[in-house]
Amino acid sequence: MSTSIHRSVRRTAALGAALVIGIAGLSACGANDDDNGDNGDGGGSGDGASDNGGGATSGTIALLLPESKTTRYEAFDKPMFEAKVADLCPDCKVDYYNADQDEAKQAQQMTTALNDGAQVVVLDPVNGEGATGMVEEAQGQDVPVIAYDRLITNADYYMSFDNETVGKMQAEALVDAVGEAGDILMLNGSPSDPNAAQFKTGAHSVLDDSDLTIVEEYDNPDWSPENAQQWTSDQLSKYDPSQIAGVYAANDGQAGGVVAALTGAGVALDALPPITGQDAELAAIQRILAGEQAMTIYKPIRIEAETAAEVAVELLGGGEVSGTSETGIEQTEYEGVPSYIFTPIVVTKDNVADTVIKDGFYTAADVCTGDYADDCQAAGIS
């Protein structure tokens, strides 16, 4: 599958036949990869942890992420988490695993991580409800579990963004962008992802009280852009594209699929309806600047990854977890789990420079490639 959608979608309507996901510009964050973990094999026992003022001087932390189709996990969460652990505990080791959206595979990875000596587990589950058994397995070996980005109700700690607020922000932006009554399509995330349910709830709380009518709705089982493209194409065989006043897409990958489907159905790039997104993927930022996507949600992943690393190192050292993290986030409680909850940010054409670029999530050079140079100039980005 080509990786050039973010460079060519705005110039080539034929791209509707071949969806791709842009992952260029990953130089925005250094990788700091662990060769032992990238293939999911893990490996090696921990050296043991010792108390160092609440932190650790050595030990093994397992990081289990759910999938790789969403670019954020490999491009940002993993390297940012690893870099912060290395900063806090140079002799600590991170064993990394990616489940590729396979719940059974992730359960096996948990067992492997524990057998290989993990003393703390940071787990972003494929299925939040199904992950309780994985947490019990770890806790049965006195290994604490941090639920990362997705809630697991029996985890020791949880950290994520305010997910219902994400859905509300997306829906409010869509209502504002459409500006009047109209028919919309709604693409949600995976039914097994607890975050997807929260995004959906938040979005419906706004859309159901608006003048917009959801004519078709879809829960995408693996968040894949390919499914989003196919489903949208199927709807365009039932509804004239001119009838679709807007599209709620729960994340940027699906937004890319929607663009590909619409252009494949003959909709001109400058006539696309407002489309929402989430994750501030590079391709989405470029589409926003080009006027092909209305907005995305920027969740400053660095603060989430670094807070998770901080808590993991404190747990590894056997110390008390701070009530307020180094990143300034106060510990609270969410559904009975000690938690750190972060605030999402709406990104539109008007504030790209003041959000993802100002934060260093991307550089201007990452965004302003090829045909997008003119769009950047128009938006005051150089």
Q: Are 170 and 140 found together in one domain?
A: no
Q: What is the pLDDT of residue 45?
A: 34
Q: Are 237 and 359 found together in one domain?
A: yes
Q: Are 295 and 306 found together in one domain?
A: no
Q: What is the pLDDT of residue 2?
A: 34
Q: Which of 73, 64, 38, 161 is nearest to 122 (CA)?
A: 64
Residue numbers of the domain that contains 330:
34-158+300-338
Strand order in the sheet with 212-219: 212-219, 182-188, 244-249
Q: pTM of the entire structure?
A: 0.76
| Mean per-residue pLDDT pooled into runs of 10, the chain (382 residues) | 33 34 33 38 36 68 93 93 97 97 97 98 94 98 97 96 96 97 97 93 98 98 95 97 97 98 97 97 97 97 95 89 85 95 96 94 96 94 90
Q: Are 119 and 219 found together in one domain?
A: no
Is residue 368 within 8 A of residue 376, CB to CB? The reply is yes
Is position 28 within any domain? no
Q: What is the pLDDT of residue 71?
A: 85
Is position 97 within any domain? yes
Q: Which of 283, 224, 188, 220 is nearest to 68 (CA)?
A: 224
Q: Are 115 and 132 found together in one domain?
A: yes
C-alpha–C-alpha distance, residues 186 and 283, integer Å: 20
Q: Are 142 and 204 found together in one domain?
A: no
Q: What is the pLDDT of residue 54?
A: 54
Q: What is the CATH number of the domain that holds 104?
A: 3.40.50.2300
Q: What is the pLDDT of residue 239?
A: 97
The residue type found at 140 is G
Q: What is the pLDDT of residue 42?
A: 37
Q: Are 230 and 258 found together in one domain?
A: yes
SS3 9: coil
Is position 330 within any domain? yes
Is position 72 within any domain? yes
Domain count, the chain: 2
What are the distances in angstroms from CA 243 to CA 149, 214, 247? Answer: 36, 12, 11
Q: What is the pLDDT of residue 33?
A: 37
Is position 29 within any domain? no
Q: Are 360 and 242 found together in one domain?
A: yes
Is position 149 within any domain? yes
Is position 178 within any domain? yes
Is position 236 within any domain? yes
Q: Are 236 and 115 found together in one domain?
A: no
Q: Are 262 and 209 found together in one domain?
A: yes
Q: Are 141 and 55 found together in one domain?
A: yes
Give the pairing type, strands 244-249 and 212-219: unpaired
Q: Are 202 and 328 found together in one domain?
A: no
Structure token digits, residue 128? 């939040």
